[in-house]
Structure 1
Amino acid sequence: MDFNALLDAVPAQAVYALTGLIILVESIGIPLPGEIMLVTASLLASGPEPRISIHGVAAAAIVGAAVGDSIGYFVGRHFGDRLFGWLGERFPHHVNDETIGYAKHAFHRHGVWAVFFGRFVALLRIFAGPLAGSLRMSYPRFLLANVTGAFAWAGGLAYGVHFLGKVAEKWMHNFSFVGLIVALAFGVFVSTVMRKRISANVAAYAEAKRAAGEEINPTTVA
């Protein structure tokens, strides 16, 4: 299979659109590999003569993140627990009492900062918008944290990976093929490490709640 020809056949606009769409849907609350898609697109924009612009990738990711979180905010504000119940039925591994309870705990502890820094944590990235809405966080405060977080996470990750890709390109003779493999491998590695770390935090939170005889996912967080 000619991987160069395969990648050349994909329009740049399709890469931007797919990157923005996956991140947007993830930000609404649907578990999708937004980080992996962003890393892959950023590395593909790092070739010697790239057809894909890193500025286009970063812009699509930032817009997708900000718009997706805002949609998630209003969905969570109007539907709240029904949304989490629906997600729990379809994605029980990602959405359950333990993960939602831990996310609520993070919001209660860090407030609006959970929205900003949540961009860098897979679990909070999925729940930030819907939870902020369901917990009636002020929308202007949410929007400020949402947009700045989107710029910091999506823009920072896109340009950071792009820079690393440019450095690595000096040692790559067949970038299109090798770059794709590196992008996927790196994305999967980062995602796996973060997922394990968050899973450990969620488990520790749930165990502490059980030991104290408290609800893991309380309706209201005191």
Structure 2
Amino acid sequence: MHIQEWLETVPAISVYILVGAVIGLESLGIPLPGEIVLVSAALLAASHDGINPWILGACATAGAVIGDSIGYAIGRKGGRPLLAWLGGKFPKHFGESQIGLAERSFQKWGMWAVFFGRFVALLRIFAGPLAGVLHMPYWKFLIANVLGGIAWAGGTTAVIYSVGVVAEAWLKRFSYLGLAIAVLIGLASMLILKNRAKKAAAAHSAAEAAEPEPDTVPVAD
């Protein structure tokens, strides 16, 4: 079952909790599809009156900020042995090449790596724990974490929700227009076929009328 189809079966409060929890766990360092869940929930809110996009965006932002902060604390306490352990558990996400790329990004960009890392799937998982491992000052991390969380979670919710509302209205108009066009095409096809059938019948009748009758041969007595 598609994520959005499944979300339609649960109450609004459960959607808020689910989105916040998944994004929080992803930000903490667990590779989960936080962005997919957020986009699906925002699209669902666009077509579901029971889900408030403001509350959804707030829950997503809270999950992002809290999850990153917990990840920072874990990374600061666990250090590089934590990254090595994660590499053994999740080699596709915490392998040497992925960790090396994230470290170079942090060394080059600092706070901006935390901020913009929110918009990149790989850095979104690494941002909190790696900032803690590299001992980034917490006040710098907190500023970048909060601003990045608001920009990513709140911005994604607002954009996807707005697109969903416009798309839904357009699709409704298109469905009515498509239905009208289909009816017109059906009527036109029926009239054309009926007219062709009449012409074919008339031509067949004319051909039969024009065909000479066979000569009668007199029978000898």
Instruction: State the TM bucket, normalised to the shorter chain.
Output: 0.7 to 0.9
> 2:28 matched to which residue of 1?
28
Secondary structure of the equivalent of 1:32? coil
Deviations 1:16-68 (A, max 9, x none): 00000000000011100000000000000001x52111111101100000000
> 1:143 matched to which residue of 2?
142
CA separation of 1:16/1:122 partners in 2, compared to 1, >3 Å: closer, same or farther? same
5 Å-filtered alignment, 1:82-101, equals: 82-101=81-100
Deviations 1:121-168 (A, max 9, x none): 111110001111110100011000000000000000000000000000
CA separation of 1:8/1:33 partners in 2, compared to 1, >3 Å: closer, same or farther? closer
Please give the root-mean-square deviation of Cα atoms over the aligned residues, in Å.
1.8
Structure 1 stretches of 4+ moved >2 Å: 4-9
Given the two structures, how large is their TM-score scaled by the length of structure 1?
0.73
5 Å-filtered alignment, 1:138-217, equals: 138-173=137-172
Contact 2:53–2:157 (CA under 8 A) maintained in structure 1: yes
CA separation of 1:122/1:5 partners in 2, compared to 1, >3 Å: closer, same or farther? closer
Secondary structure of the equivalent of 1:80? helix
> 1:124 matched to which residue of 2?
123
Contact 2:19–2:41 (CA under 8 A) maintained in structure 1: yes
The AA in structure 2 aligned to 1:78 is: K
Given the two structures, how large is their TM-score scaled by the length of structure 2?
0.73
CA separation of 1:27/1:113 partners in 2, compared to 1, >3 Å: closer, same or farther? same
> 2:104 matched to which residue of 1?
105
Contact 2:8–2:44 (CA under 8 A) maintained in structure 1: no
**Larger Rg: 1 or 2?**
2
2: CA distance, partners of 1:135 / 1:13: 37
Number of residue-to-residue matches in the alignment = 170
The AA in structure 1 aligned to 2:31 is: P
2: CA distance, partners of 1:5 / 1:135: 41
1: CA distance, partners of 2:53 / 2:5: 20
Contact 2:7–2:41 (CA under 8 A) maintained in structure 1: no
Select the structure with the greater relative contact order (CA < 8 A; seq sep ≥ 6). 1
Q: Which has the higher helix share?
A: 2
